[in-house]
Chains A and B, each alone.
Chain A
């Protein structure tokens, strides 16, 4: 069970700092010192030092407010290295770097807020390598669907600040952070959509009275509930089974819930001035990051096939304790 004081504090902090204007500005400026300083000040830059469930619970709150800062990356960096990495810090999600002697060369692609952080952690040949961003010869700005920076950093014979055996599996942990963030974004999307349908009136009544609209509301609420339950389950037992199952559910929910939520909002939901896109675009982006539903379903399915028919139900109830 996560720490309620911690969660409550996070709720307050992100509600106060991540206003619509701030999130909007962070996208334009590709960084938000306001949110980062507040979050770091509250200790969220070292989530890796908390119990895993607590760290994930904070990320869920961050996702609920579309917090435009690399908190998941700071946590991942800490988990990879085995202790908090002084930040702001990000993580290179994929390969592309190689170790040559005592230096590192190659491309680190899709690095969240790569241009704005001080250092990144990359996994190269099983090693967690800490690189200063200043040691990159070039930084190319890119972004994901949500407009969150996903930069390319080019290194040529850079001297790593540190090299240690990676203390966790980046893909699994990365997927775990995305599940936590997505559970939050889905909860926010469900609340926003139900509230909107209760307020928006057409044909003389709130659109929530129309059965066709209710169907969409139920869909968003179901997906949010399912991923909320998955996030909670995976926080308690973060094995391959649970991570895979949770990311499958979250990735599918990203599509189904966003589609239904947008339909309920009509044209208003297609604008920048209305908040829905802060959640739908993030959900679409996070769905892909660290493996989409196909990737994780295939891994889960392979493990289940190996375990065999007799273990199918025990796996559904016991998860990674069985498979």
Chain B
């Protein structure tokens, strides 16, 4: 079977109820401006509250500050936060991918240094993969680390580094060896302090005017040996396994969820027609099915399987669906998207319209995901 069965256990349902109750009291609707999925605002205070509940780094072992829980538990918490539009930005990357990657490949010293602080919601991370000449083709990265006494000197340019201007650290994929005929050889991952000497962060404004993207220029930034993540030369395999955490989760089908909920709340009048019922029913059927697939990806991660193909299949169709949802809402209600509109729906329509193209680009484009999935299908 390609996908593992997916249903929540009684304990997992209890967790779901706890998160819902927490959000209803800590972050009642109407008291905050909700964000769209993982692009929601950063709020250290909110992340700290989640940490107090034990909802950050959930699958990290207790001895490193985690809760020894599962990928499915993390799924349950994440989906509730995302659909609520909660400000998850501060901890998002660290909780989703950096912590599990450090836990898997890091040294004992790195685990003790970073994991408890991530689980407390203190440290935030960014992702240092893309470069001007290395987008989909990540193996083309040119950022290079050269060996020096006690560490490495890192030089190069990273782009599209979301949140680098406000995060503490980022994990940089770089070249430490010559590229041979095996383009994937000679790559490594380094944990880099975003405030290190020789490192410059420049904002690249989004088309919406938002500032989240950055260019990070590294000029002989010293990275001590103890911040090499995993094996020197093992960067490609590690990075690939990190991407599995980045794909297939609820953030891939919830980016536009709030539009529909808000449409129902504020524009009950449009729901009366048969066409509206059909559109609503079709969207919810998709959410129901995609959620089951996405949940089964989390189950497979818990079973120590490597659901790379499955998560590529899910992300590819889920992100297209996120864009379809926006189109459906636009079909049902004639409302101009306005940044500072009077109604929440006008405002989130504005955000959604201007960010929707990125759903099928960020975290690996749909074209690349289709290649990954198709190659895997031949093997399965």
Chain B residues 334 to 380 lying within 8 A of chain A, measured CB to CB, are 367, 370-371, 373-375, 377-378
Binary B-proximity of A78-113 (CB < 8 A = 1, otherwise 0): 000000000000000000000000000000000000
Among A157-165, A170-178, A241-249, A265-273, the one that faces the other chain is A241-249
Among B139-147, B164-172, B198-206, B277-285, the one that faces the other chain is B277-285
- Take A225-B313, A305-B271, A316-B291 as given contacts and tell me if A218 and B282 are in contact as well, using a CB distance cutoff of 8 Å: no
Chain A residue at smallest Cβ distance from B282: A297
Q: Please, how many angstroms separate the alpha-carbon atoms of A225 and B380 in the complex?
A: 13
Q: Please, how many angstroms separate the alpha-carbon atoms of A218 and B257 in the complex?
A: 25
Chain A residues whose C-beta falls within 8 Å of the C-beta of B5 in the assembled complex: 1, 232
Number of interface residues of B (CB under 8 A): 50
- Take A300-B285, A305-B271, A317-B291 as given contacts and tell me if A222 and B278 are in contact as well, using a CB distance cutoff of 8 Å: no
Cβ of A230 < 8 Å from any Cβ of B?
A: yes
Chain A residues 50 to 90 lying within 8 A of chain B, measured CB to CB, are none
Chain A residues whose C-beta falls within 8 Å of the C-beta of B367 in the assembled complex: 211
Among A15-23, A26-34, A40-48, A306-314, the one that faces the other chain is A306-314
Chain B residues 250 to 305 lying within 8 A of chain A, measured CB to CB, are 257, 260-262, 264-265, 268, 271-272, 274, 276-282, 284-293, 296
Residue among A230, A233, A308, A315 having the largest count of chain B Cβ atoms under 10 Å: A233
Chain A residue at smallest Cβ distance from B1: A228
Chain A residues whose C-beta falls within 8 Å of the C-beta of B282 in the assembled complex: 248, 252, 293, 297, 301
Cβ of B316 < 8 Å from any Cβ of A?
A: yes
Pick from B79, B281, B316, B377: contact of A297, CB under 8 Å: B281
Chain B residue at smallest Cβ distance from A213: B374
- Take A211-B371, A297-B277, A299-B281 as given contacts and tell me if A221 and B288 are in contact as well, using a CB distance cutoff of 8 Å: no
Please report whether the interface of chain A is mostly helix, strand, loop or mixed according to DSSP.
helix
Q: Please, how many angstroms separate the alpha-carbon atoms of A85 and B272 in the complex?
A: 43
Give how many A-B residue pairs fall within 8 Å (CB-CB): 151
Cβ of A290 < 8 Å from any Cβ of B?
A: no
- Take A194-B377, A244-B285, A319-B288 as given contacts and tell me if A218 and B370 are in contact as well, using a CB distance cutoff of 8 Å: yes
Evaluate contact between A214 and B371: CB separation under 8 angstroms: yes
Q: Please, how many angstroms separate the alpha-carbon atoms of A319 and B6 in the complex?
A: 14
Pick from A222, A227, A317: contact of B16, CB under 8 Å: A317
Evaluate contact between B278 and A229: CB separation under 8 angstroms: no
Cβ of B18 < 8 Å from any Cβ of A?
A: no
Chain B residues whose C-beta falls within 8 Å of the C-beta of A214 in the assembled complex: 370-371, 373-375
Binary A-proximity of B1-16 (CB < 8 A = 1, otherwise 0): 1110111100000001
Pick from B274, B292, B313: contact of A230, CB under 8 Å: B292
Chain B residues whose C-beta falls within 8 Å of the C-beta of A1 in the assembled complex: 5
Binary B-proximity of A288-300 (CB < 8 A = 1, otherwise 0): 0000011011111
